[in-house]
Structures are given as C-alpha cells and as structure tokens.
Chains A and B, each alone.
With several copies, the nearest count.
Chain A
Amino acid sequence: MNITQIVEAVLFASDAPLKAEEIARADGSLDEDIVEKAIRTLQAQYGDSERSFQVVELAEGFQILTRAEFDPYLERFDTIPRPSRLSGPGLETLAIIAYRQPIGRIEIEYVRGVACGGVIRTLQDRALVDVVARGEGVGRPLLYGTTQRFLDHFGFRSIDDLPRAEELPVVLRERIPLGAEAGDRLTSEPDHG
C-alpha cells in the first residue's frame, strides 16, 4: 500500500473537493508536498492508461471527475445527477409564460404581483424558458417563451398541445393586454404622432 494509493482512495471516497493539506490528514506519513506529488502521479497514471476520469484542481481543492467528453453517455442515468423540483413561484411563473408567451417580465410581474427576475433566471438556467423575442414597445423588453426542453419534459409536441386551456383562469386564457388599466405602454406602440 503506497502513498499514491492512499491519496487516491481518499480522493475517490470523498464527496467534496479536498485540499492537499486535508488529504494529508489521512496518514502521519503525508504532508502537503507529498500529497501534491501523489496527485501529479495519479494525473499522469490516469492520462497514460486513458482513464475516463481525471484529478481536477478546483478552487475548493482536488476532486476526481469524469472527463467532459463522456458527458453524453452519462445523461441518461438517473442515479447520477440529483433530481429537483420547481418551487411554487417557479411553477406559477412557468404556467404564466407557457400560456401567455411571448411575454415580458413586467407583464409576468404584473400578474404575479411580485418581482420575478430571479425566478425567470432559474427557469432559464433549467432551459425551460428562454428569451424568444424582443418586444415592440418602449425599451424593447425581452419576451420569454417556453423551450424545446419544456415540450420534451412535459411531453408536448408543440405549444398548441398545452391542455385544457378552456379551464384556465381568465388571466391566462384570454389574450387581453395585461396591465391595460395602467396605460397602454405595455401592449401598444406609443403613438409618435
């Protein structure tokens, strides 16, 4: 059992990146320099033997990670990434965008009554919505719509497949201009007269 193996075992089993001095705690015979040397040995060995993983140095320390080119093969394994759910605000915002797309942030906020920038960004990060156009009006607002991934995830062929629209509350069902009583700035081009 040699030092390189010990460092490898520690790196492998840890579920967080470890700094060299942390790894050195594994055994009295180790120190930071020895550990870093061992890591370089591992990096060379993994490279030479064409392992599909590598020792990567991150800001937080060292970690063994799969090499990026194998990503496509890992996508279908649900034991790999942790699943997550959308929050309540996320669901509501997604529903509004789905049924009223393309729609600007101001309008979404008008319906929800709260600021939505963060939620929209989260939905964008999850690739469920994206900017699909720029509005015609003042400031040329970004308009959001649902993505192909949205359709894939929920099993719709197209936006026209969104079910049972007739049961929806009026605000989502009808293409009434949102915020109409607040002036026409959101929905109509200002008159340049």
Chain B
Amino acid sequence: MDLTGAGSTLLTRDNFLVVELDRFQGPLDLLLHLIHEQDVDIFHIPIARITDQFLAAIQVLRSDQLEGAGEFLEMAATLIRIKAQMLLPRQEGEEDQDPRAELVHRLLEYEQIREISNCLKTAEAERGRRFAKGWVPTRPRPEISDTPLETTWEDVWEVALQVALPDPADRRHTLPALSVSMEDKVSLIVTSLAEKVRVEFSRLLCGFEDKTHAVMTLLAGLELSRRHEIFLRQVTPFSELWLYRRREDDEGPPTGGREPVPEEPEIPRGTRRRPPWMPPEEDEPADPLAVLDVDSDDQGADTMGWETE
C-alpha cells in the first residue's frame, strides 16, 4: 500500500491535526481520538476524511519504526477498503449492509472497554487506599518448624539416589588445627593401652606438634578416667604422667609402695602399630574422617570438633 503519496499531501492540508502517536494504545485508540476530536457521529463516520487523517497521522510511524506499526498499517488498509466500498454503487437486492458496520462495532466495543478500564482504574485506586495487615509473623518468635515445608519425598529420593561415598582421591587433604577431637584422643589412648598396661602421656603426644593435641589428650585421659576405663598417675609434680589400663577386676591405682617399674614402658619402637587415626610420619593422607573439606557448601564454622552437648 502506498501511504507516502496520500499521506504527505494530506498532512499539509490537515496539518491542524497534530497527533502524537506514542499516546495511543493502538489504531482503534487513534481512530476514536480522530472521531472525538472532530465531534463526528460514530454511526456516520465520514470515512474518506477520517481515512486521510489516519494515514497522515501514521506517517511518523514509518520513520520511527515503532513497535506495532503493522497494526496501524492494517487499520489503514481496512479504512482504504471501506472507503473504496463506500464509493461502489449499491447493488439491487443486496442486503443493505453499510461497509462501515464492522468498524463501528469495533470502535463502540473498544470504547466500552476503555470505559470499563476507567472503572477498574477507579476501583484499583480505591482498593489501594486500604491495607491488609502487613505480613508479619503471627507470633513473636515463630519456630522454623512451624512453617510448612514444600519439599516432597520425590525431592529427597532424587538426592538419595545420588549419594555416594566421595572418592578418597578427590578429598582435599587439609587438616585444620581445630579438628582435634576428643574422640580421636580417647581412641588413641584406648588403642595404646590395648597392647600395654600403661603408657606415658608424653608418648601419646609424639608426632603432634600443636598444643591443642596435648590439651585434648589430657581431657581424653580425664574422661576415660571418669568412666573408670583407665587411671592416671603422676608421682611428683611435673614428672611424667602415666596412663594405666584398668581391668574389670582392678580395684584402683597401684598402691603407693609399688611404683611403676621402669621395665614396663619399653616397647620395640619399630613394631609399634600405628593406630589408624594417627597421622603418620610421611605425608600421606591421614585418617579420612579427620579430613575436613572446609571449602564446601556447608557452614564451615561447624567443624568436626568436640561434640558439645
């Protein structure tokens, strides 16, 4: 369709009509505007004039490449078609159908929709003046467990299928200083005492540089003593602290007169079994259980430290 020719001439002739297309929501909106501007009876639209004005108005569309230009062009085509039909002589016997009928119908309907839109706008504004209680917890301190859980069993199941033991090769071998656990030390003492009757505290610290190990070992010793699994003995202040295995039939520590005889502690160094939890002298990975991947997704603060109760 050639809009350029018709449009440019009409624009000069009807340039009293300045139309900002951005203001319009579409071709029907623009048409209604043109009709109302000129106080035209919607049922008797002067189709030739309105068509010319419409074409002139959408000139800007072509240059601006506005989104929705096609809709305006489509309407332009419809108007041109109606204009042409209006010029044709009515044939005898044919239903007296005004070519404008559909357009009028659409315009009326659209106008109605706009009226309803305005009603909605008013209702929206009125409703907007009233407020529901802002969402607040219904109680001062709601338990997290009070909130509904949307997780389904399927969610759990899917993850369950993925659970696999991590490949030991993938594990990062960082041993944070804080990961000294009393469990480890209890285990160290118990294992050491599995082979012998008693063990020196200092020997339990062999290979552990950090002071934390000493503290935890002492605590483990006290704990085992409390549980009557071992007893502790130190002859004089600052002398070696001995940890003794306690058998079921044991009554208590050896009596004062029978101090530990020196022959006990000696063990062939080379044959001492390295407990599995004890870091070996070499740089090979230590006990995987003591290995903590601190960079992982979990809250890193909770390390494998001493389980508090």
Contacts and interface: CB of A to CB of B under 8 A. Distances in A.
A191 B190 CA distance: 7
A83 B163 contact: no
A92 B163 contact: yes
A106 B289 contact: yes
A98 B159 CA distance: 12
A171 B190 contact: no
Given A82-B128, A156-B123, A185-B277, A111 B134 contact: no
Contacts of A115: 68, 71, 292-294, 296, 298-300, 302-304
A86 B144 contact: no
Contact of A110 (B161, B289, B307): B289
Most buried by B among A14, A179, A185: A185
B307 A15 contact: no
Interface string B149-163: 111110111111111
A85 B124 contact: yes
Most buried by B among A142, A154, A171, A189: A154
A56 B129 CA distance: 13
Contacts of B139: 65-66, 68, 71
B269 interface: no
A80 B101 contact: no
Interface in A40-82: 53, 56, 58, 63-68, 71, 74-75, 78-82
B136 A65 contact: yes
A79 B29 CA distance: 39
A1 interface: no
Interface stretch (B1-9, B180-188, B259-267): B180-188
A155 B132 CA distance: 12
B62 to A, nearest CB: 17
B177 interface: no
B275 interface: yes
B301 interface: yes
Contact of A81 (B101, B112, B146): B146
Contacts of B121: 85-86, 91
A76 B262 CA distance: 73
Contacts of B238: none
Contact of B131 (A16, A74, A121): A74
B182 A193 contact: no
B75 A113 contact: yes
A71 B143 CA distance: 12
A118 B300 CA distance: 8
A80 B130 CA distance: 11
Interface string B80-123: 00000000000000001111111011101110111011011101
Given A84-B149, A91-B159, A163-B119, A109 B304 contact: yes
Interface residues of A, number: 90
B71 to A, nearest CB: 5
Interface in B32-90: 43, 68, 71, 75
A10 B120 CA distance: 27
Contacts of A53: 133
B138 interface: yes
A163 B120 CA distance: 9
A141 B123 CA distance: 31
A67 B132 CA distance: 10
A127 B145 contact: yes
Nearest to B155: A91
Given A63-B136, A172-B163, A193-B43, A13 B131 contact: yes
B194 interface: yes
A74 to B, nearest CB: 6
B25 A153 contact: no
A160 interface: no
A14 B137 CA distance: 10
B127 A154 contact: yes
A65 B137 contact: yes
A158 to B, nearest CB: 13
Contacts of A74: 131, 138
Interface of B: 25-29, 43, 68, 71, 75, 96-102, 104-106, 108-110, 112-114, 116-117, 119-121, 123-140, 142-153, 155-166, 170-171, 181-183, 186-187, 190-191, 193-194, 223, 229, 245, 275-277, 287-289, 292-294, 296-304, 307, 309
7 contacts: A9-B131, A71-B130, A83-B150, A138-B190, A172-B109, A186-B102, A192-B101
